[in-house]
Structures are given as structure tokens and as C-alpha cells.
């Protein structure tokens, strides 16, 4: 079993749900990113605006002030892939050194996003989100969440390609926790192979999310959800996810390695 790539999260924000306020200086964020690389991260995802439920928007200038120095410093120290996690095309354009644009709006949040992505020629993560961060958890409803999310994402991929984004540059993300109930998130995880069957690489991110608390009520704090995060990551890997976006890189790499060794021993 080939293990997915592991994308380590570096949130340069004061209000992210898990680690907001921990990495608000360039030095702290860069040190954390390099620590994740040492633990086995294949990709670093740098974000300067929280997208947790109820998050307050940040303007482009404020977001760039947070992330651009971090990306520049990391690029000077590490040659691996860096992702900019932003909804704003002007931030993606300014993020010299980043080779991936991770967009929770699937290039639909700004009328210029698709054209900018095409010009940049970088990898693009198209994520599904019902609504927007401030309101996305207000009673989301689906008749068949797996079909609806998969169909919406493949339609967004087609739109991106029509705008000039190369097919091989597109990754899809079902958006665990973004406009979904716990039941929706579990159904998407169980049915992830249907999104994988689209032929696009699939990024899966459920690290420390509240879906875990829905199963273990004692996991009130994000830091209490390591076991659940690993279980979801392994399930996604078995379903064919190509990239796992996680906070706990060392533990995830270890879990994936053990799962791969078990699978290899069965052959």
C-alpha cells in the first residue's frame, strides 16, 4: 500500500480552532514548519485566515502580512512543496515560493480566482464548502451527501479546466466539517472511494475536527482528538486519498507506515 502524502498544517492565525495564537510570529511559524518537515511532512500548508465555523474574515493586506514572510523564510530553508491556504486570488498571486493553492471556495469565492489559478499554473486544491465560514454550520442538509459533494467538486474541476487550469494540477477535497453535520462527515469518509473514482487526487482533512467529539464526548478540546484523527486518516488512506492534511505529522506518518507494513505482510 502506497501511503498518501502528508500535508502539515501551519496556521499563522490568532483564532484557528486548534492552534490559533500559537504561531503568530514568523519565527515561531517557521520553526514549527521545519519541525513538521523533520517529522515527515511532505507538504506544508500555510494559512493566515481562520475558516472555522463563525470565523471573522481578514482582509488581503492583513492576511499577506501574516503569511508572506513565513513562506519566504521557509522557502529559503526548505525545497519541498509549500501550499498557500487562502480564498483570495491576490494572496495566492503574492505568495511567491508556494507551489500549491489550497482554496476552501474551490476557486469560486472571487470572480478572478480561476483566471489567476490558470496564470499561476500551480497545483490547486478545490474544496467543497456549503455556505461560508460564518454560517456554514447552520443546519446543513443533503439528500445524498457523497453524491452531491462528489458531483459538485467534479463540476468545479470542469469549470476550472475550462478557465485554463490543467487537469493534472487539480486536487479535490470533500471539505470535512465545512457545512456538514457529524453524520455527513462520517458518510463522506465511508464513501471517499467514490470521490477517488473521479480520477482526481483527493485531499482529506479531518485532523482534530469536531466530528471526533460527536463519537467521543470527552474530546472537548482539539488536542484531545489525536486517536480519532488517526482513525479517520487511516480510513481515508485505505479509500485511496492521495494527501492527508494534519496537525500531528509524526503520529500520522507512523500510523500510515504501520498500516502499510501490515498490508505488505498480507501479500
Whether residue 132 is predicted with pLDDT greater than 60 in this model: the reply is yes
CA distance 152 to 83: 23
Q: What is the DSSP letter of 4?
A: P
d(CA 181, CA 59): 29
The pTM for the full model equals 0.93
Cell of 215: 463519537
The answer to whether 208 and 219 have CB atoms below 8 angstroms apart is: no
pLDDT at residue 15 in the model: 52
Cell triple for 183: 453524520
Q: Which residues are catalytic?
A: 209, 245
Reported as a single tens digit per residue, the pLDDT across 35-79 is 999 999 999 999 999 887 767 788 999 999 999 999 999 999 999
Q: Which of 267, 232, 266, 264 lies closest to 246 in space, CA to CA?
A: 232
**pLDDT value at 7 more than 80:** yes
User: Which residue in this structure is represented by grid cell 494540477?
Assistant: 169
> Does 259 have pLDDT greater than 70?
yes
> Is pLDDT at 182 greater than 90 in this prediction?
yes
pLDDT at 133 over 90: no
Residue 120, phi-psi category: left (phi > 0), alpha (psi -120 to 50), beta (remainder)? alpha
Beta-strand runs (E) in 89-187: 100-103, 123-127, 170-173
Amino acid at each position: 500500500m502506497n501511503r498518501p502524502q502528508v500535508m502539515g498544517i501551519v496556521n499563522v492565525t490568532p483564532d484557528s480552532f486548534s492552534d490559533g495564537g500559537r504561531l503568530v510570529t514568523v519565527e515561531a511559524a517557521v520553526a514549527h514548519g521545519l519541525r513538521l518537515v523533520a517529522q515527515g511532512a511532505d507538504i506544508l500548508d500555510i494559512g493566515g485566515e481562520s475558516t472555522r465555523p463563525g470565523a471573522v474574515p481578514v482582509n488581503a493586506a492583513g492576511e499577506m502580512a501574516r503569511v508572506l514572510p513565513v513562506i519566504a523564510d521557509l522557502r529559503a530553508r526548505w525545497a519541498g512543496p509549500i501550499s498557500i491556504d487562502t480564498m483570495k486570488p491576490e494572496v495566492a498571486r503574492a505568495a511567491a515560493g508556494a507551489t500549491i493553492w489550497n482554496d476552501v471556495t474551490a476557486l469560486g469565492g472571487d470572480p478572478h480566482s480561476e483566471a489567476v489559478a490558470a496564470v499561476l499554473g500551480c497545483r490547486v486544491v478545490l474544496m467543497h464548502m456549503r455556505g461560508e465560514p460564518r454560517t456554514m454550520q447552520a443546519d446543513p442538509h443533503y439528500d445524498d451527501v457523497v453524491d452531491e459533494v462528489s458531483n459538485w467538486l467534479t463540476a468545479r474541476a470542469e469549470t476550472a479546466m475550462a478557465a485554463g487550469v490543467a487537469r493534472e494540477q487539480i486536487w479535490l477535497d470533500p471539505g470535512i466539517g465545512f457545512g456538514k453535520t457529524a453524520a455527513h462527515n462520517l458518510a463522506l469518509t465511508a464513501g471517499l472511494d467514490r470521490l477517488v473514482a473521479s480520477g482526481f487526487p483527493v485531499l482529506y482533512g479531518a485532523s482534530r475536527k469536531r466530528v471526533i467529539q460527536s463519537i467521543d464526548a470527552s474530546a472537548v478540546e482539539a488536542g484531545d482528538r489525536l486517536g480519532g484523527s488517526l482513525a479517520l486518516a487511516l480510513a481515508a488512506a485505505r479509500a485511496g486519498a492521495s494527501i492527508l492534511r494534519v496537525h500531528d505529522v509524526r503520529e500520522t506518518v507512523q500510523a500510515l507506515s504501520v498500516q502499510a507494513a501490515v498490508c505488505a505482510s498480507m501479500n
